[in-house]
Structure 1
């Protein structure tokens, strides 16, 4: 009971509030988002089911208007029937499989914020598993969120934090990026440097950031010369065999004469006559024995 002037009233004066306008649906936007927004407006405006049926038909635009021909007169005033026809047309059950495949293959796109990436995964999970509570699929959403991060260091950082909710995983990733900057650019890991190229690195001018092919080739040649110089290859001489020590050098214009058979063209150690005589003597000595 309220006191108004000099009288008592049983009811409070009704406050007037602004009526919200129903959103439009053209078939291109997400149907689930449209239904949620439309029902929120209907609840705010206090519409009955009959009024909701009328308002949702007035909200159809573009290609979505074509579904009006599928409604009979008795379905025009039934909000549940209209919503079911919209669902069958723009969000059929067969699309659940497509949403699941898209969810499993979803990766963070270049330039995409972590918040948008996480929200997209959440929507795909709700569409792909409509009969499962979100609490039952959130663990899969977190795993997919981590696996879809392209930067390996950021991915390991979030994984080692063991987030229990998607919001926590997004917060951990945002905290990491706030310190190291955006990490959606994939960089090739640096290979281990072997000891064989250490001398090359020592000879590189640290002030120059760009090394041409000619500079690298010259550095390699210098390193090879330094390594070969350690072995003093220029002073190496192959040993001469005993039979070749007394052979004179075959100088131009000099005659080579054998001292055994007095023939030209060979020396005494290589004389065939001497070898033949030596063989005869050896055979004779063996016969006498």
Structure 2
């Protein structure tokens, strides 16, 4: 069975766990895992792959390490965006409190998106 496409709208952890289960079931070695994983990437994760050296692209542990660092922060921005869009006023929450909560979520999401540099995003994520 082939791996599903890596979906950047789903957390890095969920995608990776699913891939590892499939790789174990199929008995793939690290070389096969690297190729299967790399070819399952799309969207922002595929862009990350294109920035890696040839050695990192074919070394499964390096590929996983780099993608984990870079994709986790991309997902964090999406989390804040979804939290903002789905936030509902709590019982007893004042309008001012609601506005402050929404503003905080919006600012976090926008701040992460505006950083640009993936490395800087990783450093900020570790500090948050």
TM range (shorter): 0.5 to 0.7
SS at match of 1:25: coil
* Structure 1 match to 2:31: 50
Unaligned 5+ runs, structure 1: 1-19, 110-289
- Superimposed CA distance per residue, residues 12-68 of structure 1 (whole angstroms, 9 cap, x where no aligned partner): xxxxxxxx2212113221110110000000011110001000000000012321112
TM-score using structure 1 length: 0.25
Q: Determine if the alignment matches structure 1 residue 76 to structure 2 residue 76.
A: no
How many residues align? The count is 80
Correspondence 1:1-289 to 2 at 5 A: 20-92=1-73
In structure 2, distance between residues paired with 1:77 and 1:70: 13
What does residue 265 of structure 1 align with?
A: none
**Which runs of no fewer than 5 residues in structure 2 stay unpaired?**
91-128
Q: Secondary structure at the match of 1:75?
A: helix
Aligned equivalents of 2:70, 2:54: Cα separation in 1: 19
Distance in 1, Cα, partners of 2:47 & 2:3: 19
Partner of 1:207: none
Query: What's the counterpart of residue 185 of structure 1?
Result: none
Structure with higher helix content? 2
Name segments (4+ residues, structure 1) moved above 3 Å: none
C-alpha separation in 2, matches of 1:71 and 1:46: 26
CA RMSD of aligned residues (A): 2.5
Contact 1:26/1:63 (CA < 8 Å) preserved in 2? no
Partner of 1:76, secondary structure, is helix
